[in-house]
Structure 1
Amino acid sequence: MTQQNRTDPRAAKLARRDLVVDLARVWCILLVVVVHLLMIGVGLDASGAVVVSRPLEAQPWFAAATWFGQVMPLFFALGGFTAITAWKSLRKRGGDAWDFVRGRTLRLAAPALPLFVFFTLAIGGATLAGVDRELVDTVATGAGTPLWFLAAYLLAQSLTPVLAHLHERSRWLTLAGLALGAVAVDAARIVTGIDEIGLVNLVFVWAFVQQLGFWYADGWFRRRTAPQLVAIAAVAYLLVWLVVDAGWYSPDMLVNLNPPTVPLALLGIAQIALLTLVAQPLMALMRVRAMQAIVFTVGSRAMTIYLWHLPVIIAVAGLTLLIPSAAPEPASPAWWWSRPVVFVAVLAAVWAISLPLARFEQVSVAIPEGRRRPSAGAVVAAAAAAFVPAFLVLQFGLDLVLAFVGVVLFAAALALDRARAARTAA
């Protein structure tokens, strides 16, 4: 560390961070917003009738584009990097697995609670107001689409202490075991035709991709040469093409998302290799103060942006119908040209929402002096309570009942994970 870093707290803090990871995480979040913005088409045709469509998915190149635009594997790999980094830091401070799971649960459950409160009030209010039931169900289901992430991410992150231990003992065997588990689950799903079997890959696929983040943190990918990284990505994409061409999977990687499938694990390999390949120019970009400001600003609200962007997109689309000439017919040239303006409007609205919600995203996991951590049983129960509502939405779609269940269970998770009064000696 230089003398300047020792005297400049900001420089010292930046020196401890992987700025490429910060940039990539923000890129993933913003790309998800863009994709959803282009998938939801609401406007008026020449006769003034309301048209609802999915313009992006109607493009002939859409399926091929998802091989690069489906960035959730990369996001989980980056989450693996931050998870193992945080786990190692926690262990050095004397923390254990229960402290880690508690922290991860709090940081996912706290931002999710106000969203489920909003859904309960919005769906309940629309129902009481007599809004068409089919319309309410369609909008609620669409708005709840991204919530699968809460269940999958919490599950993968909660397994970090165990998987980090296995990684330290035998990283190749651990990765191979997760890969074989994912293949076995997909094979059982394909042979039996029972899609629900694929839900087991919430563990194997996402834990495999998260494990790639462990390897990235170890420097394994950075020790590979540029030709090696290109070869790794090329082989991964070749394997994706082979399993798709065999008819086992859809060529649309969004279809392969829930339940998660082996192609996503292969995409994760390709994406982390390609990220490493361009890490140097990205690092140079992150030395620019303006870029750091953008990345850290968006990154500080990443969970709020992810959770709230789709309801905001739907709300903005509805509002444009009330403004003359603001809702061109979906997929028309005017509609495509209007997307950048709508994107800015959505981000501005989400940012405004994030201001009062910042305290939920920045919830403290520290145990105050004179208090103690909840028991291991309470930590496990809290993680389960936070997992269940998102998993149910993944399976059945969002409705009023599940929105209310989410409020109850996320509130219960936060209560179970709160610091307890210290035990007094008898």
Structure 2
Amino acid sequence: MARVKEPDTAARVPAGRDLSIDFVRAICLPIVVVLHALQMGIGGDPLETFNALDGYPPLATVTWGGMIMPMFFIAGGFAGLITWRRIRERQGSASDYIRTRTLRLLRPTLLAVAATGALLAVFAVFGADDGFLGGFAHRLAEPLWFIVVYLALTAAVPAMAWLYERHRWSTFAGLAAGAVVVDVVVRLTGWPIGYLNWAFIWLFVQSLGFLVLDGWLAKRPLWWHVLVIACSYAGIGALVVFAGYSGDMLGNLNPPTLVILLLGFAQASILTLLQPAFRRLMQIQGVLVGIGALGIYGFVIYLWHTFAMGLVAGVQQAVGLPFPEPLSSGWWITRPFWILAVAAVVVLCCVVVPKLEGILWREPEGSVSIWLAWIMTVVGSIGVGVVLLFGYVPFWQTAAGLALMTMACVALELNFRSRKVE
């Protein structure tokens, strides 16, 4: 494959951009989408939906290396801190950052949620069984957890950057201690406070991305990274064997446990060791173009792949194609066709959705108060959370979630002062 010429590369890639992070984010995305597609189990008479891979032993083994959500958040911390520092250099404020990032996450989510809700309403109109529809709606809503968490983490970047720059190690220690306390309390008492680790653990992992950005990890010797990786996985093994944690990394994800924190440690070092190789790969034109396309359409792919699964399943029902028993030989034989059909719809969405977004939205001008930025981020997150918890059905609850998301977007778009942020 031909290599990119230096002038072309300079013209296409912004100065100072670390393409290894683009590579990681782009490669992780198809893994997540394919996993969700394989997890979508539909079968029985009457039809019902379930996690087709739940309890599937080979998957548990694969997740020790293939559960890449910590890598997503590490890369997100890397990119978020870059964006925040650039805004500060232009004399921008925390409210400018939070407002911009929230709108860029929330507006596409609003459109995707509305489309998926409308698709499920069509299912209901054409007589879909209530039990099937409710279960299917919940399955399609599950990936929205990432949007809720990412909205919160994005809004926290200015504050976390301040702590990172002034109290770096005490911040890491405090977050890790909080995660330990939550896990211990949950295991000893059964109190339902595990969801606090959505903050402690993911903020910790996101802050590892700050260390990657500043080159602190890259300055550590090879033996240091090997030791960190070995100790992290040894710690995970100990938690699984002696403390009763799930041996399936997906079972430690929502809410996240100390297993995910240790996995974040390991993946930060793995990313650091592989960055030079990823940068070399990104000098190959075909790789650069492919990764660039995944980067441009990445959020569309993530938000709309559940809509695509819903549409493909609906068409399959409409034309009378059977749903093979999950994990049967017929099911495995048809999975490539199922994934290709979902991918085809996603590609169509990548063509249509950005054009629709360009018609519907404009870039906001001026600025908003920090309080409005924070409050509307919370309101928008609650709106997504409503759909996540109730799974699109009943539809009035989805309408309530959409209303909250819309209110947040409108408030962030229209409430601005006269100063324009360059």
The amino acid across from 2:412 in the alignment is: D
Are 2:65 and 1:65 aligned? Answer: no
Query: 2:40 touches 2:139 (CA, 8 Å); kept in 1?
Result: no
Label 1:64 to 1:385 Cα distance change in 2 as closer, same or farther (>3 A).
same
Are 2:149 and 1:155 aligned? Answer: no
Specify the alignment match of 2:228 in structure 1.
232
**Aligned-partner Cα distance in 2 for 1:391–1:325:** 34
Matches within 5 A, 1:407-418: 407-418=402-413
- Deviation for aligned residue 1:31: 0.3
Task: Choose 204-213 or 66-75, whichever is displaced more.
Answer: 66-75
Deviations 1:219-245 (A, max 9, x none): 122112333212211111111111122
**Aligned-partner Cα distance in 2 for 1:128–1:82:** 43
**Aligned-partner Cα distance in 2 for 1:330–1:282:** 36
Query: 2:387 touches 2:401 (CA, 8 Å); kept in 1?
Result: no
**Aligned-partner Cα distance in 1 for 2:186–2:357:** 37
Are 2:20 and 1:20 aligned? Answer: yes
**Aligned-partner Cα distance in 1 for 2:414–2:9:** 30
Matches within 5 A, 1:206-225: 206-225=202-221
- Deviation for aligned residue 1:63: 1.6
Specify the alignment match of 1:385 in structure 2.
379
Label 1:8 to 1:36 Cα distance change in 2 as closer, same or farther (>3 A).
closer
Label 1:129 to 1:316 Cα distance change in 2 as closer, same or farther (>3 A).
closer
Query: 1:116 touches 1:406 (CA, 8 Å); kept in 2?
Result: no
Instruction: State which of 361, 367, 379 in structure 2 corresponds to 1:373.
Output: 367
Query: 2:115 touches 2:307 (CA, 8 Å); kept in 1?
Result: no
Specify the alignment match of 2:285 in structure 1.
289
**Aligned-partner Cα distance in 2 for 1:189–1:130:** 43
Specify the alignment match of 1:187 in structure 2.
184
Are 2:398 and 1:403 aligned? Answer: yes
Task: Choose 148-157 or 312-321, whichever is displaced more.
Answer: 312-321
Matches within 5 A, 1:237-386: 237-321=233-317, 328-358=324-354, 367-368=364-365, 372-386=366-380
Label 1:404 to 1:305 Cα distance change in 2 as closer, same or farther (>3 A).
same
Query: 2:40 touches 2:52 (CA, 8 Å); kept in 1?
Result: yes
Label 1:69 to 1:360 Cα distance change in 2 as closer, same or farther (>3 A).
farther
Label 1:78 to 1:361 Cα distance change in 2 as closer, same or farther (>3 A).
farther
Specify the alignment match of 2:80 in structure 1.
83
Matches within 5 A, 1:171-182: 171-182=168-179
Task: Choose 331-340 or 263-272, whichever is displaced more.
Answer: 331-340
- Deviation for aligned residue 1:167: 0.6
Deviations 1:154-212 (A, max 9, x none): 111111111111111122111111111111122222222123x1111121111001000
Task: Choose 308-317 or 105-114, whichever is displaced more.
Answer: 308-317
2:91 match: secondary structure = coil
Instruction: State which of 111, 127, 131 in structure 1 corresponds to 2:128.
Output: 131
Superposition TM-score, scaled by structure 1 size: 0.88
- Deviation for aligned residue 1:50: 6.4
The amino acid across from 2:58 in the alignment is: W
The amino acid across from 1:145 in the alignment is: E
Are 2:140 and 1:143 aligned? Answer: yes
- Deviation for aligned residue 1:14: 4.5
The amino acid across from 1:90 in the alignment is: I
- Deviation for aligned residue 1:405: 1.7
Query: 2:49 touches 2:135 (CA, 8 Å); kept in 1?
Result: no
Query: 1:76 touches 1:206 (CA, 8 Å); kept in 2?
Result: yes
- Deviation for aligned residue 1:142: 0.3
Label 1:105 to 1:329 Cα distance change in 2 as closer, same or farther (>3 A).
same
**Aligned-partner Cα distance in 2 for 1:292–1:316:** 31
Label 1:129 to 1:313 Cα distance change in 2 as closer, same or farther (>3 A).
closer
Label 1:322 to 1:128 Cα distance change in 2 as closer, same or farther (>3 A).
closer
Label 1:364 to 1:123 Cα distance change in 2 as closer, same or farther (>3 A).
closer
Identity %: 34
2:92 match: secondary structure = coil
